[in-house]
């Protein structure tokens, strides 16, 4: 499998941004504005470890563009985080917010660390240290963080507590993805997966495939992958393949998803409990109707795009398909629902959480899901319509829809 190259991830994002802006009739000045974040902060965070020694961690926060409103995006804890990755992810957040028509620009953060090797106390001190380091740059009306890879509601709780201490008043709107008792929204934990499932349903409709017995392969069994496997299983589809970092399981008769979820650990791994597994590479090219990459970047590449047997790919992960592979699968007639559309459920419900924090009045889960459904479907229709009308692939269509609002706002503000 191709190694993750964050430079090329950023470069390919910039390339599609450029193509989208050109298609929309904008000039090079707008491309120059949009292809990099407006602000990028690198911080060094000293943390006292349990053995008494101090370890210094490097963290980042990128704010892509705040022409529309405050920036918004998650913080990931991962050993492979780079500045380029955080930049690319902040641009994708702008696109997601644009597609969902949220009053935000994109932001993103990350810390180079391995939470799997850190104690609870060390993680708390790192989370609080990060907030102290970026506190000048973030805030409920400036830039609003959220969970991402290997961060969760507990990390958000430490972060909101630290921020509230610094500001000397309770500031729930500073961060989303909080526990419900600290002002979290009902439905936030499953929002990304619910949104992906909504997009799978829309894609099935377009392709005229019945949901019942549709065969689904999901790569990644963490927050996004396990919930969406569960929802697809409950909806009557047949989840025939799942995987995690250690390997993959495939059964054409369908897997017992509730049992696998019960046995999964908190880092989304379960395949280590099985003797007979296949590799992630093998899983992606097994027979299925819908393939959902929900793990990491660069999984569908020019090396395997020709072998994929699905007729629909829905990208739950950020950046799982390269530009070259996008071209190949589109030419092969596979309907690709791109990441910036398919995985927008998380930021949409994060937006709902922020709205509820600002108004101090909280909605039922049904209300949240109904509003999510409305924004996701609207997004799908806009992207699919652009894809058909402008005769561009679904990724370029999504970028055109996603970047339009920020570009227009920047022009009204007189920035370009
Ligand atoms: P997670 O950390 O909960 O789970 C990741 C899963 O991927 C785990 O099962 C892990 O074992 C597996 N994995 C890791 N490396 C792998 C590899 N090399 N090959 C195969 N599998 C591997 O993360 P998550 O929150 O589920 O996020 C997954 C993807 O979805 C990421 O790209 C993330 O950016 C994206 N996403 C998540 C959310 C969200 O709200 N959780 C929102 C938007 C986008």
Q: What is the band of 223 on the pLDDT scale with cuts at 50, 70, 90?
A: confident
The Å distance, Cα 28 to ligand 1 centre, comes to: 35
Determine which residue's CA is closest to atom 20 belonging to ligand 1: 245
Q: What is the mean predicted confidence (pLDDT) over 308-331? A: 96
pLDDT tens for 93-137 read: 999 999 999 999 999 999 999 999 999 999 999 999 999 999 999
Q: What is the mean predicted confidence (pLDDT) over 359-376? A: 98
pLDDT tens for 45-93 read: 999 999 999 999 999 999 999 999 999 999 999 999 999 999 999 999 9
Residue 205 annotated among the catalytic residues of the structure = no
Q: What is the band of 198 on the pLDDT scale with cuts at 50, 70, 90?
A: very high
Q: Is the pLDDT of residue 392 over 50?
A: yes
> How far lies 48's CA from each of 54, 80, 142, 233, 351, in Å?
4, 22, 30, 44, 34
pLDDT at 7: 65
pLDDT at 5: 67
Per-residue tokens: 244: 């995690």
Determine which residue's CA is closest to atom 1 belonging to ligand 1: 222
Q: Is 310 in the pocket of ligand 1 (CB under 6 A)?
A: no
Determine which residue's CA is closest to atom 15 belonging to ligand 1: 245
75: phi then psi, degrees, rounded to nearest 5: -120, 125
pLDDT tens for 140-197 read: 999 999 999 899 999 999 999 999 999 999 999 999 999 999 999 999 999 999 999 9
Q: What is the mean predicted confidence (pLDDT) over 328-344? A: 97
Q: What is the mean predicted confidence (pLDDT) over 336-361? A: 98
The Å distance, Cα 297 to ligand 1 centre, comes to: 9
Q: What is the band of 2 on the pLDDT scale with cuts at 50, 70, 90?
A: very low
Orientation of helix 223-235 relative to helix 191-207, angle to 10°: 50
Q: What is the band of 248 on the pLDDT scale with cuts at 50, 70, 90?
A: very high
**pTM of the model as a whole:** 0.95
Q: How far, in Å, CA of 165 to CA of 127, rounded?
A: 14
Q: What is the mean predicted confidence (pLDDT) over 238-251? A: 97
Q: Is 318 in the pocket of ligand 1 (CB under 6 A)?
A: yes
Task: Spot the catalytic one: 108, 178, 186, 238.
Answer: 108
The Å distance, Cα 327 to ligand 1 centre, comes to: 24
The pLDDT mean for the chain works out to: 96
Q: Is the pLDDT of residue 14 over 60?
A: yes
Q: What is the band of 1 on the pLDDT scale with cuts at 50, 70, 90?
A: very low
390 labelled ligand-binding: no
Side by side, the strands of the sheet bearing 238-244 are 247-250, 238-244, 215-219, 290-293, 312-314, 335-337
**110 three-class SS:** strand
């Amino acid at each position: 499998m191709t190694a993750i190259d964050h430079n090329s991830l950023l470069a390919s994002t910039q390339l599609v941004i450029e193509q989208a802006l050109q298609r929309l009739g904008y000039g090079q000045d707008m491309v120059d504005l949009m292809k990099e974040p407006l602000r990028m902060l690198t911080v060094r965070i000293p943390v006292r470890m349990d053995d008494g020694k101090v370890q210094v961690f490097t963290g980042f926060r990128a704010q892509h563009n705040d022409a529309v409103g405050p920036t918004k995006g998650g913080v990931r804890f991962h050993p492979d985080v780079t500045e380029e990755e955080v930049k690319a992810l902040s641009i994708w957040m702008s696109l997601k917010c644009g597609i969902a028509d949220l009053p935000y620009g994109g932001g993103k953060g990350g810390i180079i660390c391995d939470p799997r090797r850190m104690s609870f106390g060390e993680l708390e001190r790192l989370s609080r240290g990060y907030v102290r380091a970026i506190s000048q740059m973030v805030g409920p009306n400036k830039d609003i963080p959220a969970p991402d890879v290997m961060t969760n509601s507990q990390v958000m709780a430490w972060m909101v507590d630290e921020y509230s201490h610094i500001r000397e008043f309770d500031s729930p709107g500073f961060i989303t993805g909080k526990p419900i008792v600290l002002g979290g929204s009902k439905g936030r934990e499953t929002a990304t997966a619910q949104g992906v499932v909504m997009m799978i349903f829309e894609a099935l409709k377009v392709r005229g495939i019945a949901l019942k017995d549709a065969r689904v392969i999901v790569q990644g069994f963490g927050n996004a992958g396990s919930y969406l496997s569960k929802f697809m299983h409950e909806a009557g589809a047949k989840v025939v393949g799942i995987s995690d970092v250690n390997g993959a399981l495939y059964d054409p008769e369908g897997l017992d998803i509730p049992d696998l979820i019960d046995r999964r650990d908190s880092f989304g791994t379960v395949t280590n409990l099985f003797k007979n597994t296949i590799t992630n590479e093998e899983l992606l090219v097994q027979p299925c109707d819908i393939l959902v990459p929900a793990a990491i970047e660069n999984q569908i590449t020019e090396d395997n795009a020709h072998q994929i047997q699905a007729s629909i790919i829905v990208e739950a992960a950020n950046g799982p398909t390269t530009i070259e592979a996008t071209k190949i699968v589109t030419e092969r007639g596979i309907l690709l629902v791109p990441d910036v559309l398919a995985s927008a459920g998380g930021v949409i419900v994060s937006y709902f959480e922020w709205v509820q924090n600002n108004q101090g009045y909280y909605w039922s889960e049904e209300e949240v899901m109904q509003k999510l459904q409305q924004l996701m479907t609207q997004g799908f229709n806009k992207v699919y319509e652009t894809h058909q009308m402008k005769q561009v692939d679904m990724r370029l269509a999504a970028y055109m829809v996603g970047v339009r609002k920020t570009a227009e706002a920047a022009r009204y503000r007189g920035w370009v």
